[in-house]
Structure 1
Amino acid sequence: MELEMSKIDQHTALRAFGFDVPSTVAVIGRHHLKARARGMSLPFITKHNQGGKGLGVRRFDSLEDFDDYVDGPDYEHPVDGITLLQEYLHPVGGYITRVEIVGGQFLYALTADTRAGFQLCPADECDDTSAGLGLCPADAQTAGSLFHWREGFRDPIIDRYLDFSRFWGTGIAGFEFIETEDRRLVTYDINTNTNYNPVVEEEAGRSGPVAVARYLAALARELETDRVVNPSA
C-alpha cells in the first residue's frame, strides 16, 4: 500500500528499476502552478499525486485554458496538496494496457479505451462508456465495455513487473503503461488495491478474486505454520 499513496514515490521507484516513466513536475499548492506550467510542452495533463480512477486528471492544450482552470471554480484541490504536471503521451490505438499480478504470478493483461476520458477504473460499477464524461454509471446507460482482455500479450515487461513486485514485496498489483506513437513503453501507474472487470475475466477465462483468495489462503497457511513452529514469535 505504500506505493499506492504517492505517484511521486511510484515514479521514483519505477525509474530506479529502469522503467520509462512520464516526464513529471510536482507542484505543492495552487499558487505556483501557472509558473511551473510554462516549462511544460503542450499538450500536458494534470493529476493528483494521491488519487485513483483517473479522478482529477485533465488535459490542457493551451496555457490560457490551464490558467483559467487554476483560477476558476472547477479547480480540484489534491488531498495531499500536490498537483502533478505531466507530459501527455499519445497512445497507439487509443488504449492503455494494464498488467494484473497476483501472488507473484502474471494473471492477464487488459486494455482500457482512453478515448472517452481518463477515468479508467476497471471495476464493474465504473465500466461505462460515459465514465470519461464525468457521468455516474447509475445515471447513464452502458453502451459497451471500455475494457477488454489483451489476448496473447507476453511482452518482456511482464517479467520486469514481476521482479519489481518481488523487490517491493507487493503480492497484488496492477501496472498500467502506454505504448506511444514514438515507440516508447511508458509505465505511469501502479495499483496495489486493484479491481477486476467481469467482461475482461469472461474473455480471459481467469478470475482475479479467485486468484486473490487462493493467494491470501496460502499466506494464512504460511502464518499458521510459522506460529506452530515458532509459538513465541
Structure 2
Amino acid sequence: MSEQATEPRVYVIHENAEWFPPFAAAFADQGVPAQEWLLTDGAIDLSSEPPQGVFWSRLSASAHTRDHAASKEYGRAVLRWLESWGRTVVNGSDVLEFEVSKVAQHATLRAADVDVPRTTAVFGTAALKERAREFSAPFISKHNQGGKGLGVRRWDAHDDFDAWVDGPDFEPSPDGITLIQEYLWTREPFITRAEYVGGELVYAVRVDTSAGSFELCPAEACAVDGEDGTPAPPLFQLRDEITPEHPLVAQHRAFLERAGIRIAGIEFAETFDGRLVTYDVNTNTNYNPDVEAVAPRSGPGEIARFLGSLLRAEQPVPA
C-alpha cells in the first residue's frame, strides 16, 4: 500500500488490477470509501499499527499465471499482521488457505456433509500413474493450487495419462500436489456457480460446458471472442430457480460458516444419477457482466453493501 488514508475505509487486497473496476464502481454507488491494495511488491513495518478500516482479501490461487506467484506469500504475511492488530479482515488468513488448496476445500466440504467428488491427492510424481489407475477412465487430473480451471484435464485412457506424466508437457501444480478425481457425468452440459456474500446466496449462474473447456472464469477480462472476431455465445446465464430454499444452498451456508468464508463462489454439478456434487470454492469471486445485467441483485453491489455495513459498525458512536 503506497500510502495510508487518514479516514477509515475498505481496503481491497489483491494482485490483479484488471478485476477491480466493477467493485470500485459498486463502492462508489454505495458511498463506501474504498482503496485498492495491490500485493505485487512493497513493505510493511511489522511494529507499526495498520490503518483503521475493514480489509477484504481477494487474493487468487491463479496469481502465478500473472507473474505474481509471490503474492500468495505476501498475502499470508499481510493478513497475519492485520489480524494481530485486531483489524476486521474478511476472508482472512485461514480463508486464504482454502483459496490455494483444493485439498483443504474438499476436506472441509466433506466435514460439512456436502457431497464431493472422490479425490486422491498425490504428492510429487512417483506414485502418480499408479494412483490414477485406482480410478476408472475417464477421470480428471488437476492442480491442488490452481485457478480459472487451469491445469484441469480429462483423461479417457490411462496410457495417455502415463505418457503425459513422463513427457515434456507435464505441468506440476505450483505446490507439487496433483489431484486425481472422478469424472462427473452431468445430466446436462452445464455446471452451476452459486455466489454468496455475507454467507447468504446472492444468485446462481448456469455455466455452459458443452465445449468441454474447464477454463470458466466469469470476469469480463476473461471473455474471448469467436474466431471471426464476433462475440462468443454467452457461457453464463442466471439460474433463478436456485433460491435460498434450495437444499444444497443450506449445506453451502453451513460450510461457509464452518470455514469462516464470508464471500465466495461455489461450483457444483448435477449428475445423471441425481447427485449434487460440489467440487470448487472460489474466495476471490468475480461476476459476469451479462448475468449482472439481468440479476435482481448485483454481486459487487452486495459486497459493497456488506463491507460498508462492517465499516460503519466500527465507527465511534457520537456522544
Match of 1:180 in 2: 271
Q: Is 1:189–2:280 an aligned residue pair?
A: yes
Distance 2:218 2:112 in 1: 26
Q: Is the 8 A contact 1:128 1:144 kept in 2?
A: no
Match of 1:79 in 2: 174
1:129 Cα deviation after fit:
7.2
Segments of 5+ residues of structure 1 without an aligned counterpart are none
1:166 Cα deviation after fit:
2.2
Written as runs of structure 1 = structure 2, the 5 A alignment for 1:114-125 is 114-116=209-211, 117-125=213-221
1:88 Cα deviation after fit:
0.3
> Any idea what SS the aligned residue of 1:111 has?
strand
Root-mean-square deviation over aligned CA pairs: 1.9
Measured against aligned partners, the alpha-carbon deviations of 1:182-222 in whole angstroms (never above 9, x if no partner) come to 11110101111101001111122321111111111111122
Distance 1:75 1:142 in 2: 32
Q: Is the 8 A contact 2:112 2:254 kept in 1?
A: no
Q: Is the 8 A contact 2:108 2:259 kept in 1?
A: no
Worse overlay, 23-32 or 176-185: 23-32
The change in CA–CA distance for 1:140 and 1:25 in structure 2 (over 3 A counts) is farther
The change in CA–CA distance for 1:104 and 1:38 in structure 2 (over 3 A counts) is closer
> Any idea what SS the aligned residue of 1:2 has?
helix
Aligned partner (choices 101, 106, 113) of residue 6 of structure 1: 101
Distance 1:109 1:168 in 2: 21
* Count of residue pairs brought into register by the alignment: 220
**TM-score with structure 1 length normalisation?**
0.88
Q: Is the 8 A contact 1:179 1:186 kept in 2?
A: yes
Match of 2:235 in 1: 146
Q: Is 1:64–2:159 an aligned residue pair?
A: yes
1:50 Cα deviation after fit:
0.7
AA aligned to 1:202 is A
**TM-score with structure 2 length normalisation?**
0.65
* Aligned-residue identity in percent: 54
Match of 2:30 in 1: none
Written as runs of structure 1 = structure 2, the 5 A alignment for 1:1-233 is 1-116=96-211, 117-128=213-224, 141-154=230-243, 155-225=246-316
> Any idea what SS the aligned residue of 1:178 has?
strand
Segments of 5+ residues of structure 2 without an aligned counterpart are 1-95
Distance 2:156 2:225 in 1: 23
Moved over 4 A (4+): none
AA aligned to 1:113 is D
Measured against aligned partners, the alpha-carbon deviations of 1:123-157 in whole angstroms (never above 9, x if no partner) come to 11223377xxxx9xxx9653211111002222221
Distance 1:41 1:125 in 2: 36
